[in-house]
Amino acid sequence: MDEIRTKAVNDLLQVLARLDDEDEIFALLEDLFTIREIRETSQRLMVAQMLSQGKSYAAIEAASGASATTIARVSRCLSYGSGGYQQALKILNDLEPDDNR
């Protein structure tokens, strides 16, 4: 993935790393992505959570609306990816139950 790590991508990473207010982050997401892209991206994280809990593809499909293809892709990333999902899941697991919306 080194070819994708351009100056523009690094600039985006720097912005994201410095934002610490959920509303500011959401505003940026709204400006950067379509509503559909935000929903699809958050759906993938939900799928990762459910896979990490040992849920079946059928249960995940029913609960999240994600396709089998999306579930398989997330599963591959969990097993062979860069570790981004694992880091996100650790953050979500560290949140207090009331904070995990």
- Read off the pLDDT of residues 47-69 as tens digits, 9 standing for 90 and up: 999 999 999 999 999 999 999 99
Q: Do residues 95 and 49 both lie within one domain?
A: yes
Q: Do residues 22 and 71 share a domain?
A: no
Is residue 98 domain-shared with residue 72, that is, in the same domain? yes
Counting other chains too, the contacts that 87-96 makes at CB distance below 8 Å and 24 or more residues apart are 88/45, 88/48, 89/48, 89/49, 89/52, 92/45, 92/49
Instruction: Look at the chain and report how many structural domains it folds into.
Output: 2
In the chain, count H helices and then E strands. 6, 0
- pLDDT at residue 101 tops 70: no
Domain that includes residue 91, residue range: 41-101
Q: Is the pTM of this model over 0.95?
A: no
Neighbours of 49 (CB within 10 A): 19
